[in-house]
Amino acid sequence: MRVAVLSDVHGNRHAFEAVLRDVDAADVAEIWCLGDVVGYGADPNDCVDLARERCAITLAGNHDLAVTGDLSLEDFSRGAALAARWTTDVLAEERLAWLGRLEPKAQRAGAGLYHASPRDPVWEYVISVLLADLCFDAAPERVCLVGHSHVALAFHRRDGERAGGERRYADDAADLSEGRWLLNPGSVGQPRDGDPRAAWLLLDLEGRTATWKRVPYDVAAAARAIRAARLPESLAERLEYGQ
């Protein structure tokens, strides 16, 4: 089965729609979203609708949990907290209720799905080999998918060895046939790896391969929407730089 893995949409409708068009051309059986459907962007209602319509499974991210009131806004940066308050105010009640029913982890087709990590599905950023090693020890699944860091990454551990890992770029591929893997598709709506293009991962479960994808989208339109909503200027500016 071929699957599209997405994460960290963050209310960016323009990026989400561009990724979905790319996914449609890839002939996948399902779309899996690892959370943070809403967050920094100005189109949370549209993004919730797209996730509900297109994704076979959607996890709760920390920003989703902030909007539903399940996490304290004191745990977030000022800009993230302001965006969460605004999102709560503009999100339709039915869509807010849908977000409230999501969980931060799941298992599907033998893969582990976690918004952040197998050890802490809500908050842990897996951005080092040391943390990846600890996650491999904690995870029951051979292949785990994580988001949260907004950076496309792959960590790998063979039996009896320490984990290794590296950043992944557009069209990079990994052979998943041996060892244990922890894969991050990168962010749809707010990449932080220096590439402003929206990111997603093509996962072939039968062929045991993963391929990282990047998609250009209308960054200027997404930034204009943030400014029109009077959200913090930094949230608009960082889209252009992929930071």
Could you tell me the CATH superfamily of domain 2-104+170-180+187-241? Answer: Metallo-dependent phosphatases (3.60.21.10)
Return the amino acid letter for 211: T
Which segments of the chain does DSSP mark as H helices, in order? 13-25, 44-54, 62-67, 78-90, 93-100, 129-138, 219-228, 233-241
pLDDT at 4: 98
Q: Which pLDDT score, from 0 to 100, does residue 108 have? A: 95
pLDDT at 160: 81
pTM of the model: 0.96
Compute the half-sphere exposure of residue 43: CA atoms within 13 Å on the CB side of its CA. 19
Give 10-residue mean pLDDT values along the chain (243 residues). Answer: 97 98 97 98 98 98 97 93 96 97 97 98 96 95 97 94 93 96 98 97 96 98 97 95 90
What is the spatial distance between Cα 115 and Cα 188, in angstroms, rounded to a whole number?
14
Name the residue ranges covered by the structural domains of the chain.
2-104+170-180+187-241
What b/e readout covers 71-83, taking b as 16+ CB neighbours within 10 angstroms?
Answer: bebeebeeebebb
Place of tokens 């842990």: 124
Exposed (0-12), middle (13-18) or buried (19+): which is 29, by Cβ within 10 Å?
exposed
In the structure encoding, which two tokens stand for residue 47, read together?
A: 């993004």
Q: What is the pLDDT of residue 161?
A: 85
For the chain, how many residues are written? 243
